[in-house]
Every structure is written in structure tokens, then in C-alpha cells.
Structure 1
Amino acid sequence: MKRLLELLGFIALVQGVLGLLHEVTHWHLGLVQRFGFLDGHEIYASAVLVVLGFALFAVAESRGVR
């Protein structure tokens, strides 16, 4: 379960950073800009993904090895 949370956290963090990088550089990176319902809200969605990634890492770390 810890590995799954870490993997999901890594994916969310990478997609969030790529979305923010897309907004700054206009390179076509990440998945956030590809969703039509997020038009005009890509920065917020990317920031939420970065925070979600860190939250998932924190949950995975709190699970620890049992």
C-alpha cells in the first residue's frame, strides 16, 4: 500500500509540475492542459496536483513499515 501511495504521489507531483511549467513556458507538457473542462483553471489544477502529491507522500510515510 505504501508503494502505491508513493507512486500516485509521484505521478500527481510530476503532472502538477509539468502543468505549471506549461503555463510558464507554453511547452506542451503534462495532462492538465488536455482536459477541456479545466480551461482557464490550469494553474489552480496544477497547484492542487502538487499539493496532492506531497499529501500522498506524507500519508505513505505515516503508514511506515509494519
Structure 2
Amino acid sequence: MKGALEILGLLALVQGGAGLVHGFTDWNWGLVQRLGFLDDYEIYASAALLVLGVALFAAAGSRKSV
């Protein structure tokens, strides 16, 4: 479970960072800008993914290794 949380946290951090980079530099990579229902909210969704990634890493850190 700890490994899964870490992997999901890493994916969320990477996608959130990619969305912010896309929002400020117009590089065309990442998942957030490809989702149509997030039009005009890409920056907010990317920031939320960054926060989610940090929260997932905190949750993984609080779990005991098996």
C-alpha cells in the first residue's frame, strides 16, 4: 500500500508540474490540458494535483512498511 501511494503521489506531482509548465510556457505535454472539461481551469487543476501529490506522500510516510 505504501508503494502504491508513493507511485500515485509521484504521478500527481509530475502531472501537476507539467500542467503548470504548460500553463506558463505553452509546452504541450501533460495530462491536464488534454482534458476538455478543465478548459480555463488548467492552472487550478495543476495546483490541486501538486497538493494531492504532497498529501499522498505524507500518507505514504505515515504508513508502516510491511
TM-score tier, shorter chain, comes to: over 0.9
Give aligned-pair identity as a percent.
Answer: 64
Question: Unpaired segments of 5 or more residues in structure 2?
Answer: none
The normalised TM-score by structure 2 is 0.97
Q: Counterparts in 2 of 1:39-50, with a 5 A limit?
A: 39-50=39-50
Task: Look up the equivalent residue of 2:63 and give its one-letter code.
Answer: R
Question: Unpaired segments of 5 or more residues in structure 1?
Answer: none
Using the TM superposition, give the Cα deviation of residue 65 of structure 1 relative to its aligned residue in structure 2, in angstroms: 2.0
**Number of residue pairs the alignment of both structures matches:** 66
Find the aligned partners of 1:53 and 1:29 in 2 and give their Cα distance. 18
Aligned match of 1:7: 7
Find the aligned partners of 2:33 and 2:14 in 1 and give their Cα distance. 14
**Structure 1 runs of 4+ with >2 Å offset:** none
- The CA RMSD over aligned residues, in Å, is 0.7
